[in-house]
Structure 1
Amino acid sequence: MKILFIHQNFPGQYKHLAPALAAAGHQCVALTLRVKEPQTWKGVRVLPYGIRRKQGSGTHPWVLDFDTKVIRAEACFHAACELRDRGFSPDIIVGHPGWGETMFLRDVWPEARIGLYYELYHLSDPAHLGFDPEFQAKTGETEKLRIRLKNLNNRIHYNVGDMGISPTEFQAGTFPPEFREKISVIHDGIDTNHVVPNPDVVLDLPDGSRVTREDEVITFVNRNLEPYRGYHIFMRALPRLLKERPNAKVLIVGGDEVSYGSKPPKGQTWKQIFIDEVRGRIPTPNWERVHFLGRIPYDTFISLLQVSRVHVYLTYPFVLSWSLFEAMSAEAAIVASDTAPLKEAIRHGENGRLVDFFDGDALVDEVCGLLEDAEMRAELGRNARQHIVRNYDLQSICLPRQMEWIGKLADMTAGVVGD
Structure 2
Amino acid sequence: MTAAETAVMNTPSLYIALITETFTPEINGVANTLERLVNGLRERGHQLQLIRPRQSSDRERKSDEHLVLTRGWPLPGYAGLQWGQSARHKLLNRWRKQRPDVLYIATEGPLGWSALSAAKHLNIPVVSGFHTNFQQYSGHYGAAVLTRLITNYLRWFHNRSRMTLAPSVSQKIELERRGFERVELLSRGVDSQLFNPSKRSSELRQQWGLGESDTAVIHVGRLAAEKNLKLLINTFMALQQSYPQRNLKLILVGDGPQRAELQAQLPEAIFCGVQRGEQLAAHYASSDLFVFPSLSETFGNVLLEALASGLGVVAYDQAAASQHIRHGHNGALATPQDQQGFIEAACWLLEAPESLRRVRLNGRQHAARQGWTAIIDLFEEHLRNALQPITQLPAGRTLP
Range into which the TM-score falls when normalised by the shorter chain:
0.7 to 0.9
For residues 185 and 211 of structure 2, the distance between their equivalents in structure 1, rounded to whole angstroms, comes to: 37
2:125 alignment partner in structure 1:
113
Match of 1:411 among 383, 388, 392: 388
Shift of 1:17: 1.9
1:220 alignment partner in structure 2:
219
Q: Structure 2 vs 1, CA of residues 101 and 374 (structure 1 numbering), >3 Å: closer, same or farther?
A: same
For residues 318 and 167 of structure 2, the distance between their equivalents in structure 1, rounded to whole angstroms, comes to: 17
Shift of 1:121: 6.3
Q: Is the 8 A contact 2:16 2:102 kept in 1?
A: yes
Structural mapping, 1:10-159, within 5 Å: 10=23, 12=31, 13-35=33-55, 36=58, 37-38=61-62, 45-51=66-72, 72=84, 74=86, 76-84=87-95, 87-109=97-119, 110-119=122-131, 143=144, 145-159=145-159
For residues 35 and 218 of structure 2, the distance between their equivalents in structure 1, rounded to whole angstroms, comes to: 26
1:398 alignment partner in structure 2:
375
1:161 alignment partner in structure 2:
161
Is 1:351 aligned to residue 330 of structure 2?
A: yes
Give 5+ residue unaligned stretches, structure 2.
Answer: 1-13, 25-30, 78-82, 392-397
Q: Structure 2 vs 1, CA of residues 81 and 232 (structure 1 numbering), >3 Å: closer, same or farther?
A: same
Q: Percent of pairs identical after alignment?
A: 17
For residues 252 and 90 of structure 1, the distance between their equivalents in structure 2, rounded to whole angstroms, comes to: 42
- Tell me the secondary structure at the aligned position of residue 156 of structure 1: helix
Q: Structure 2 vs 1, CA of residues 122 and 355 (structure 1 numbering), >3 Å: closer, same or farther?
A: same
Shift of 1:326: 1.0
Q: Is the 8 A contact 2:332 2:349 kept in 1?
A: no
Is 1:8 aligned to residue 7 of structure 2?
A: no
Aligned residue pairs total 361
Shift of 1:361: 6.6
Shift of 1:358: 6.8
Q: Structure 2 vs 1, CA of residues 83 and 340 (structure 1 numbering), >3 Å: closer, same or farther?
A: closer
Instruction: Give 1:219's aligned amino acid.
Output: I
Q: Structure 2 vs 1, CA of residues 160 and 100 (structure 1 numbering), >3 Å: closer, same or farther?
A: farther
Give 5+ residue unaligned stretches, structure 1.
Answer: 56-63, 66-70, 258-269, 280-286
Please tell me the root mean square deviation across aligned C-alpha atoms, in Å.
3.8
Is 1:303 aligned to residue 282 of structure 2?
A: yes
Q: TM-score scaled by structure 1?
A: 0.73
Q: TM-score scaled by structure 2?
A: 0.76
For residues 112 and 385 of structure 2, the distance between their equivalents in structure 1, rounded to whole angstroms, comes to: 20
Instruction: Give 2:162's aligned amino acid.
Output: D
Shift of 1:312: 0.9
Match of 1:383 among 344, 362, 372: 362
Q: Is the 8 A contact 2:133 2:296 kept in 1?
A: no
Shift of 1:84: 3.1
Shift of 1:305: 1.6
For residues 320 and 46 of structure 2, the distance between their equivalents in structure 1, rounded to whole angstroms, comes to: 35
For residues 296 and 373 of structure 1, the distance between their equivalents in structure 2, rounded to whole angstroms, comes to: 31
